[in-house]
Structure 1
Amino acid sequence: MIAEAGHYALILALALALIQSTVPVAGAKLRDVALMNVARSTAMAQFMFAGLSFLALTTLYVTSDFSVANVFQNSHSAKPLLYKITGVWGNHEGSMLLWVAILAFFGALVASFGNNLPLSLRALVLAVQGWIAAAFYLFILATSNPFTRMAQAPLEGRDLNPVLQDIGLAVHPPMLYLGYVGFSVAFSFAVAALIEGRIDAAWARWVRPWTLVAWIFLTLGIAMGSYWAYYELGWGGWWFWDPVENASLMPWLSGTALLHSAIVMEKRNALKVWTILLAILTFSLSLLGTFLVRSGVLTSVHAFATDPSRGVFILVILCLFIGGSLTLYLWRASSLKQGGLFAPISREGALVLNNLFLTTACATVFVGTLYPLALEMLTGDKISVGAPFFNLTFGPLFVPLLIAVPFGPMLAWKRGDIRGVAQRLLAAGVAALLTIAMVWAWTTGGAALAPLAIGLAVFVVLGAIIDIAERIMLFRLPLAVSLRRAVGLPRAAWGTAFAHAGLGIALIGIVCETTWNTEYIGTLKPNDVAKLAGYELTLKEVTQRQGPNFRESIARFRITRGGDEIGEMVPSKRNFSARQMATTEAALLSRGASQLYISLGDDTTDGAVAVRMYHKPLVLMIWWGPVLMALGGVFSLSDRRLRVGAPKPAKASRALQAAE
């Protein structure tokens, strides 16, 4: 009964989405207030039914109802409760239901908090959200119904992919989807503004918080996915340039450019055409990521779908929304007024430069990701585009971008003084040069450019600190006055500083881990000692343990350095009988920002166990950086100017609109 109720709720959500996608458009055309207000009520009701449908599927997983094919294929009665819940989105059908539930959630948020929007704009934004939702409801009901019953209920399920039975799965996909789907709001605002033919600074003020929310969640989702792959897959890497990883990176790059472009549009009423295009492209890249993962064109731990009909359906959705929105853009863009002018050396100019490098980097990832797929489709030849291509194309684009990052916030609007900013950043430049010299002197081996990259990262971090110091006039006013100025600074200024500093911190971690990572691969017996980066790792014992739905082989290592015991590391290897699969549970020991990493391989015939050990210097900074960037986004989102939003129209203006 629960499955049928969930299915029926999904059908009702589709019906509401169809109403939401048509009636408000007619209302906006006829200037009928009642019809335009239909968008708000249907968006709220649609979210309620989508939420009920998702809750129904979750209940089926928790109660292990194996009469439902989706539950049978992806769950097991002995699985821990946490993984029963997270298993809901650990498969194609469930993950698509989560996708549309989050889409409905964002639509309900716009309906709830969009009271300061012009009524016609809100109606059109929610109508576009309804178009997207209706397309994906149809996709789920036609090709990916998660509530399909089996003719005869099995006694036990097949279990979830063991690799996905991890706490990281409870966090990574929902955050990633909140980012992907969150950009649909910016897309809807862009399409609605193009339909109305009215785009101004107020539009940028309205769209920026929604873009910021999506960017925060996508940043955290990518970071969480990277860390999950690092400790769960047992290979010791944190980024592989996998096409599915790239599918999340592309909208992040485009979304970052959109955020900066929206700032220029809000402050200077400029870059209108470019901002609208970025809003369309960012969500289009999110849809492209959905296609890559769900179509079956890729084989990956992320990719669930293998049915070609699903790929064709999503491809049609992709063509309709991307092609339709770009066609509308081409039709309307020429009629948009560009707004304020500015000098090349200005804050606007710095943000344009930022956009140029970000979008070019996004384009290189796009080409590197899709070219092998296109070539295979056209010629049948299979090629692999891996890390060397991306490192040689993506990396150099970020060098000038990072050099420019500290300058941007310190330049004035409209016309800036590059010499004055350079003088204020002189201390950061000197510190960066000293860092390069010290790293060069203290390290041996590794890439010759690594010290330069670390120096550049230090320049970015110190540039963010100097920006705040200049704003509060540190050391030029009494300390108490500077502290009061710091408290009174707009939170967006703190957010910018945190985000830029997080970028530098992540770069330090990336360079140190990739350049000075040390490795030990071999076999050990109990009481054998492996030496790694000054540490002694002694295998004490290997034991067996029965888990709830797996058999586990556990190794215990004593870690010492210079004769002093530091701690114990316990890696393991799990065998899941239901799926006939094994997973590696790596052991991590943090020493400051650095880590020791141990993963187990297979046992040998002579009683030894294969091990893979790493010492990863400053590796944690790779993820501290994105967390700091997301924190900066939260600070910016809490800025009163964004919370207040654009001012409501004056009474006279509202009366004029009503008369029209």
Structure 2
Amino acid sequence: MIIELGHFCLILAAVVAAVQAVVPMVGAQRRLPGWMALAGPAATAQFALVAVSFGALTYGFVTSDFSLRLVVLNSHTLKPMLYKVSGVWGNHEGSLLLWVLILSGFGASAAWFGGQLSASLRARVLSVQAAVGVAFYAFILLTSNPFLRLELPPLDGQDLNPLLQDPGLAFHPPFLYLGYVGLSMAFSFAVAALLEGRVDAAWARWVRPWTLAAWLFLTIGIALGSWWAYYELGWGGFWFWDPVENASLMPWLLAAALLHSAIVVEKRETLKAWTILLAILAFGFSLIGTFIVRSGVLTSVHAFANDPERGVFILIILALFMGGALTLFALRAGAMEGKGVFAVESRETALVANNILLAVSAFVVFIGTIWPLIAEMLWDSKLSVGPPFFNVAFTPFIVGLALILPLGAMLPWKRARLGRVAWSVWPLMLLALAVFGLVLVIQTGRSVLAPMGFALGVWVIGGAAVDLARRTGRGDLGARFGRLLRLPGADWGKAVSHAGLGVTVLGVAVLLAWQTEDIRAVEVGAPYNVSGYTVTLKGVEPRIEGPNYLATRAVVEVAKEGRVIAVLRPEKRVYPVARMPTTEAAILNGVFRDLYVVIGDAQAQGGYALQVYVKPFANWIWAGCIIMALGGMLSLMDRRFRVAAGARKARAQVAAQ
């Protein structure tokens, strides 16, 4: 009964979305207040219906209802409860239901908190958001129904993909979807603005918090996915330029560009057309990511489905919304003329450069991702585009971004003197150059990547600190410290996010340049040296029983300078139901290095294969991501306060009249 209720609510939500997509839009066109007012209640009703539907599917997984086809394919009675719940979205059909839940949730939030928008703009935004929902409801109900029943239910299920049975990956998809779908709000605002024929500072103030929230969720989701790949797959890497990894990186880059471009619209009312285009493209690349994950046209360990027919449906959605939005943009772009003018030396110019670097880097990743598909279609040639291409093609853009970031953040609006700003940071320039030289001298015969990473990290992190210090003005330290604490959350958020990028850049560069790898067949009890550590395989436990898996566990002793510093227990697991092995690395985490150990297969000549990696500054990568996310939270909190304050002020003025 609960499952049928969930199915019925999903169908009813699709009907409500269709009404919401049409009636308020017509009302906005004809200036009918009653029709426009329907958008808010419809958005709330749609979200409530999808929430009930998602809750019904979750109930099916939690209770192991094997009359439900999706539960059979993705669950098992012995599976821990966390993975029963995460199994709801650990598949194609359930993940799409989560997608429309988040989509309707963002629409409902715009209805709840968008009371200060003009009635016509609010109606159009919610109508466009509902139209996107209608397309995905049709996709789910026609090709990917999660509520299909089995005529003869089995006694047990086939289990969830073992690679997905991990805490990091349990929370990774929801955060990514919050980011992907969050960009739909920027898209809806962009299309609504094109229909209204007006983009101004008020529009930018409303777009920025939605884009910032999407960027924040994408940052967390990407970091969780990278962390999972690092410790779960046993490859020892944090980023493999996998097509699905790239699918999340591209909208993240475009969302970052959109955030900075919207600032220019808000402060100077220029770059309007470019900002609208970025909003359209950012969501378009989210749809492209959805296509990559589900179509099967590109191979990935992360893919949810390998169904070309479903991929065609997503391509139709992509063509419909991107084609329609870009056509509308072409027709209305001329009306989006910027009012503000600015000199070459100005913050506007720095933000334009920032946008160019971010947007072009996103398109470089896009070309590298789809090039194997293009080569196969046009020339019937099997090609593989791997890390060497991406590292060479993508890195210069990030280096350029890091170089201009501190100076650009401190330049005044409209007209600036670059020399004056550069003079204020010359000690930081000298420090970055000194760090570069020092690291270059200390390392011997290694890549210049590590010195560059240290120098860029110091430059970006120090630049964020100098920017904050400049905003406190002059005076004694006590007064400046007080002014520092009273700075708006947006100023703190910008500085913290930029510092987080510097930390991540430093971690990535040093890890790639200085990591060491040792793979060999090891006899039990025979010690050997890896980068100053003495590693000894003390023994192997061949059969460890887990909740729903069997494991081979190694006991590895690690010593340094004759003192045992850790005993690590890497595992190789086999999930009997899914008939799939996984590798569980054992990691000795540290602030400045990780010791990473993986057990391999038993060798014919005796012993076991053992992989040992020493990874310097590995945790700085994810620490930087956490810092960036924290900066986003600080900015988002400030933005919400300012929007709410503006609303209260407007209401107070109305009441006084």
Q: Is the 8 A contact 1:90 1:164 kept in 2?
A: yes
Q: Which residue of 2 aligns with 1:611?
A: 610
Map 1:606-645; keep pairs closer than 5 Å: 607-639=606-638, 643-644=642-643
Question: In the alignment, which of 493, 496, 502 is matched to residue 495 of structure 1?
Answer: 493
Q: Is the 8 A contact 2:28 2:36 kept in 1?
A: yes
Q: Distance in 1 between matches of 2:306 and 2:467?
A: 51
Q: Distance in 2 between matches of 1:650 and 1:561?
A: 64
Matched, 1:450 2:468: no
Amino acid of the structure 2 residue aligned with 1:16: V
Map 1:257-336; keep pairs closer than 5 Å: 257-336=257-336
Q: Which residue of 2 aligns with 1:582?
A: 581
Q: Is the partner of 2:249 in helix, strand or coil?
A: helix
Q: Is the 8 A contact 2:453 2:510 kept in 1?
A: no
Map 1:451-466; keep pairs closer than 5 Å: 451-466=451-466
Q: Which residue of 2 aligns with 1:72?
A: 72
Map 1:475-486; keep pairs closer than 5 Å: 476-486=474-484
- How far residue 119 of structure 1 moved from its aligned partner, in angstroms, is 1.1
Amino acid of the structure 2 residue aligned with 1:580: R
Q: Distance in 2 between matches of 1:513 and 1:569?
A: 21
- How far residue 541 of structure 1 moved from its aligned partner, in angstroms, is 2.1
Q: Distance in 1 between matches of 2:372 and 2:282?
A: 22
Q: Is the 8 A contact 1:637 1:643 kept in 2?
A: no
Q: Distance in 2 between matches of 1:362 and 1:392?
A: 14
The alignment's TM-score, normalised by the length of structure 2, stands at 0.97
- How far residue 506 of structure 1 moved from its aligned partner, in angstroms, is 0.6
- How far residue 35 of structure 1 moved from its aligned partner, in angstroms, is 1.0
C-alpha change, 1:334 and 1:545, in structure 2 (3 Å) is same
Q: Deviations over 1:183-219 (max 9, x none)?
A: 0000000000101111101000011000000000001
Q: Distance in 2 between matches of 1:65 and 1:430?
A: 65
C-alpha change, 1:651 and 1:245, in structure 2 (3 Å) is closer
Q: Deviations over 1:119-161 (max 9, x none)?
A: 1111110000100001001000000011111110001111111
C-alpha change, 1:340 and 1:641, in structure 2 (3 Å) is farther
C-alpha change, 1:566 and 1:449, in structure 2 (3 Å) is closer
C-alpha change, 1:586 and 1:249, in structure 2 (3 Å) is same
Q: Distance in 2 between matches of 1:595 and 1:530?
A: 18
Q: Distance in 2 between matches of 1:204 and 1:546?
A: 56
Q: Which residue of 2 aligns with 1:25?
A: 25
Q: Which residue of 2 aligns with 1:101?
A: 101
Q: Distance in 2 between matches of 1:233 and 1:436?
A: 34
Q: Is the 8 A contact 1:510 1:619 kept in 2?
A: yes
Q: Which residue of 2 aligns with 1:547?
A: 546
Task: Give unmatched runs, 5+ long, in structure 2.
Answer: none
Aligned length: 652
- How far residue 641 of structure 1 moved from its aligned partner, in angstroms, is 7.0
Q: Is the 8 A contact 1:571 1:599 kept in 2?
A: yes
Instruction: Say what the alpha-carbon RMSD is for the aligned residues.
Output: 1.7
- How far residue 18 of structure 1 moved from its aligned partner, in angstroms, is 0.3
Q: Is the 8 A contact 2:243 2:299 kept in 1?
A: no
Q: Is the 8 A contact 1:202 1:646 kept in 2?
A: no
Q: Which residue of 2 aligns with 1:122?
A: 122
Q: Which residue of 2 aligns with 1:141?
A: 141
Q: Is the partner of 2:199 in helix, strand or coil?
A: coil
Q: Deviations over 1:247-291 (max 9, x none)?
A: 111111111000000001001111111110100000000011001
- How far residue 646 of structure 1 moved from its aligned partner, in angstroms, is 8.9
Q: Is the 8 A contact 2:369 2:385 kept in 1?
A: yes
C-alpha change, 1:207 and 1:231, in structure 2 (3 Å) is same
Amino acid of the structure 1 residue aligned with 2:446: G
Matched, 1:364 2:364: yes
Q: Which residue of 1 aligns with 2:235?
A: 235
Task: Give unmatched runs, 5+ long, in structure 1.
Answer: 656-660
- How far residue 478 of structure 1 moved from its aligned partner, in angstroms, is 1.4
Amino acid of the structure 2 residue aligned with 1:313: F
Q: Distance in 1 between matches of 2:132 and 2:382?
A: 34
Q: Is the partner of 1:177 in helix, strand or coil?
A: helix
Q: Which residue of 1 aligns with 2:533?
A: 535
Amino acid of the structure 2 residue aligned with 1:392: V
- How far residue 379 of structure 1 moved from its aligned partner, in angstroms, is 2.8
Q: Which residue of 2 aligns with 1:469?
A: 469
Q: Which residue of 1 aligns with 2:10?
A: 10
Q: Deviations over 1:621-651 (max 9, x none)?
A: 1111111111111111111576426946999
Q: Distance in 1 between matches of 2:430 and 2:363?
A: 34
C-alpha change, 1:352 and 1:434, in structure 2 (3 Å) is same
Map 1:551-562; keep pairs closer than 5 Å: 551-562=550-561
Q: Aligned residues: percent identity? A: 54
Amino acid of the structure 2 residue aligned with 1:509: G
Q: Distance in 2 between matches of 1:445 and 1:81?
A: 51
Q: Distance in 2 between matches of 1:587 and 1:562?
A: 21
Map 1:55-454; keep pairs closer than 5 Å: 55-454=55-454
Q: Distance in 1 between matches of 2:234 and 2:511?
A: 16
C-alpha change, 1:227 and 1:589, in structure 2 (3 Å) is same
Q: Distance in 2 between matches of 1:431 and 1:98?
A: 48
Q: Deviations over 1:441-491 (max 9, x none)?
A: 111232134313321221111111111111124xx5212101110111111
Q: Is the 8 A contact 2:449 2:510 kept in 1?
A: no
Q: Which residue of 1 aligns with 2:52?
A: 52
- How far residue 529 of structure 1 moved from its aligned partner, in angstroms, is 1.7
C-alpha change, 1:16 and 1:641, in structure 2 (3 Å) is closer
Question: In the alignment, which of 504, 518, 528 is matched to residue 520 of structure 1?
Answer: 518
The alignment's TM-score, normalised by the length of structure 1, stands at 0.96
Map 1:32-43; keep pairs closer than 5 Å: 32-43=32-43
Q: Distance in 1 between matches of 2:30 and 2:172?
A: 44
- How far residue 13 of structure 1 moved from its aligned partner, in angstroms, is 0.7
Q: Is the 8 A contact 1:254 1:278 kept in 2?
A: yes
